Amino acid sequence: MFMNAVILESPERKLVMWYKCNEKKALGLTKAQIARELGLDVKTVRKYLRMSYDEFKSSESYKRMYIKVLDPYESKVSEWLDEHPDLSSSQIHDWLREHYPDLPDVNSKTVYNYVKYIRAKYNIEKPVSSSPRQYGRIVETDFGEYAQVDFGEMWMQYEDKRRIKVYFFVMVLCRSRKKYVWFSKSPFTSDLAVYAHEKAFEYYGGKPKKIIYDQDAVFIHAENLGDYVLTKSFNAYVNQSHFQCIFCRKSDPESKGKVENAVKYVKYNFLRGRTFASIEQLNEEGVRWLSRTANGLPHHGTKLVPDEVFEEEKSYLTPYYGKPEMPQKGMVMYKVHKNNAISYHGCEYSLPSGSYKNQSSFVWIDVKESTLEIYDGETGKQVATHIISNERGKYVLDPSHRKQHRMALDKREQAILEYCNYDILAQLWLENLHKDKSRYYNDNVRVLSSEMRHFEPSTLHHAFEKSLDCSMYNAKDFISLCDRIGKRIPVRDTDPNRINRLPDILKDGPEKTDINQYNQYLS
């Protein structure tokens, strides 16, 4: 319908439609049928049929010629859409402003309609996303209180069609929605993430009180059953910068939906279809793009312009007086071997199973004193950490990289209760553990079930009692308490049914065959 409406703006096309309307009428079609076949409005058909040829030629509707304000850019818009059919109208609008400083002041609806017109005219369909966008209620926070941080990566092309993967850091101030993005050619390490934070604080001119993160290895060195141990450099930076870190649940994008959406916005409204020249140029273009779009236009949720709201929010930020300093050492690319390992200075270091996918598989290496940090070549996420060996020819293995059989949770719970003679305090402790650390319940139960046999049930009873009194629900702390209460005992295999875990064919030993059975086949 839209396409036909646009075509009718041409006088020649209108004349063709007048002829066709009269031709269809002569064949006995009704006005509604004519309108349906020609893609016209019934009112238009009625108007054409009322007019003779001379009346139509002299009518204002025939003489009038519509000129679109964006027609001078038709060839460029069609070229962009032909090369990148998935471009959005907002991205087209931004590219027009970027490439044509004298672009007329048009609103987003005008650009949307024009892009729709170009798609129809040149038959350029937009690919349909397989995952529909999800919307949720916006909860506002206090000025200067929260920011959200996340990382992204995307493949780009040079002008000669070579490809390069770029990584980027995004920070969003939760109240104003003012965004910052910084790009890197290598994956983010703790030091590089610290530098990106400094760049963001310099951009804002201040720091929020709290920042929300994913449980990323860039920030977290280890996890003690829900208690996070930050990496050395990031922990030092947080203590120096005086902001609070909040880590959201794994696989829970809703916990930091603002920055999740910002990462997608950078990918599909800035990077998509853009040619890579240099990382310096990309960062310059990124800041200008933010001013034109994400920070300079009304936010789709709040309907407010982030830059304007930020004018009020910036006074609530902690002032920033530092100067960002780029880390001196960068990452080095290493090839992944078929045995899911890499070679480094005469030794092999293990990687998680599945790291090797093909001959092009690679990882990034970051050396910190005596530690080897290894990052996935595709995602940039940290996948392994090894102490550098001084022995040449050694294979350094992380046991967690081996696939291990784990007992089901219900079996571990049952084993704990059986060993404690179904102590009511043990049952109560497990129930409270599940309430206090539901996300880490499985991990705590696994630790407890493996360590409890080092103590007598009476020792465990007293430890459960003291733990309940002080609301301590951490298996490692519980075992430490047992060490203080009683002595460890030798652990022996108390399972009388151990033989039953063997395959049936092995339970009774090897089967013996009578020699006479062979003789009957040979005779």
Grade residue 520 by pLDDT with cuts at 50, 70 and 90.
very low
Dihedral sign computed on CA atoms, order 395, 400, 402, 405: positive
Q: Which helix (H) or strand (E) holds 109?
A: helix 108-122
381, 447: one domain: no
85-99, 242-256, 383-397: range with highest mean pLDDT:
383-397
pLDDT in tens, 207-253: 999 999 888 878 887 666 556 678 788 888 888 888 998 887 665 55
Instruction: Give the model's pLDDT for residue 255.
Output: 52
SS (H, E, C) 121-180: HHCCCCCCCCCCCCCCCCCCCCCCCEEEEEEEEEEEECCCCCEEEEEEEEEEECCCCCEE
207, β-bridge pairs: 318
Dihedral sign computed on CA atoms, order 283, 251, 127, 1: negative
DSSP at 391: S
Instruction: Give the model's pLDDT for residue 240.
Output: 86
Grade residue 63 by pLDDT with cuts at 50, 70 and 90.
low
49, 193: one domain: no
Q: What's the whole-model pTM score?
A: 0.52
The answer to the question of residue 459 being in a domain is: yes
Yes or no: say if 238 and 149 are a contact pair by the CB < 8 Å rule: no
Q: How far apart are CA 82 and CA 204, in angstroms?
A: 38
Q: Does residue 299 carry a pLDDT above 90?
A: no
Angstrom distances, CA of residue 289 to CA of 91, 167, 492: 10, 17, 66
Q: Which helix (H) or strand (E) holds 283?
A: helix 279-292
Percent of all residues in the chain with a pLDDT value above 90, rounded to a whole number: 29
Q: Looking at residues 247-272, what average pLDDT do you find?
A: 75
Pair of tokens at residue 102:
């004298």
The answer to the question of residue 129 being in a domain is: no
215, 112: one domain: no
Q: Looking at residues 481-496, what average pLDDT do you find?
A: 75
369, 502: one domain: no
Instruction: Give the model's pLDDT for residue 88.
Output: 83
25, 84: one domain: no
The answer to the question of residue 16 being in a domain is: yes
396, 413: one domain: no
Q: Does residue 407 carry a pLDDT above 60?
A: no
The answer to the question of residue 347 being in a domain is: yes
302, 420: one domain: no
76, 169: one domain: no
Q: Does residue 39 carry a pLDDT above 90?
A: no
Grade residue 402 by pLDDT with cuts at 50, 70 and 90.
low
Domain boundary among 363, 385, 401: 401
The answer to the question of residue 324 being in a domain is: no
Instruction: Give the model's pLDDT for residue 215.
Output: 81
Instruction: Give the model's pLDDT for residue 495.
Output: 45
Domain boundary among 260, 289, 319: 319
**Domains identified in the chain, total number:** 5
Smallest CA-to-CA distance from 200 within 164, 156, 237 is with 237
pLDDT in tens, 158-213: 988 888 889 999 999 999 999 999 999 888 888 899 999 999 999 999 999 999 98
DSSP at 300: T
Q: Does residue 496 carry a pLDDT above 70?
A: no
137 compared with 4, residue with greater pLDDT: 137
Yes or no: say if 75 and 68 are a contact pair by the CB < 8 Å rule: no
Q: Which domain holds residue 90?
A: 71-122
Percent of all residues in the chain with a pLDDT value above 70, rounded to a whole number: 82
Grade residue 512 by pLDDT with cuts at 50, 70 and 90.
very low
Q: Does residue 5 carry a pLDDT above 80?
A: no
Q: Which residues contact 306 (CB under 8 A, 6 or more apart)?
A: 176, 177, 178, 179, 294, 295, 296, 299
Burial of 127-150, coded b for 16+ CB within 10 Å and e otherwise, reads: eeeeeeeeeeeeeeeebbebbbbb
Sort 511 into a burial class: Cβ within 10 Å, 0-12 / 13-18 / 19+.
exposed
The answer to the question of residue 237 being in a domain is: yes
For 320-350, the DSSP string reads --------S---EEEEPPTTSEEEETTEEEE
Instruction: Give the model's pLDDT for residue 64.
Output: 53
Pair of tokens at residue 160:
């000669």
19 compared with 9, residue with greater pLDDT: 19
Domain boundary among 401, 436, 455: 401
80, 54: one domain: no
The one-letter amino acid code at 492 reads R
Q: How far apart are CA 342 and CA 470, in angstroms?
A: 47
Q: Looking at residues 75-80, what average pLDDT do you find?
A: 86
Instruction: Give the model's pLDDT for residue 169.
Output: 95
- For the chain, give the mean pLDDT: 81
Q: Torsion over CA of 422, 426, 432 and 436, rounded to 10 degrees?
A: -130
Q: Looking at residues 290-302, what average pLDDT do you find?
A: 88
289, 349: one domain: no
Q: Looking at residues 362-370, what average pLDDT do you find?
A: 86
Instruction: Give the model's pLDDT for residue 492.
Output: 58
302 compared with 254, residue with greater pLDDT: 302
pLDDT in tens, 99-129: 888 888 888 888 888 888 888 878 888 876 5
The answer to the question of residue 310 being in a domain is: yes
Dihedral sign computed on CA atoms, order 429, 435, 440, 442: positive
384, 465: one domain: no
Q: How far apart are CA 204 and CA 320, in angstroms?
A: 9
Kindly give the interhelix angle for 441-451 and 409-419, rounded to the nearest 10 degrees: 40
170, 242: one domain: yes
Rg (the chain; Cα; Å): 34
The answer to the question of residue 45 being in a domain is: yes
Instruction: Give the model's pLDDT for residue 516.
Output: 54
Q: Does residue 507 carry a pLDDT above 60?
A: no
Q: What is the domain-level CATH number for residue 267?
A: 3.30.420.10
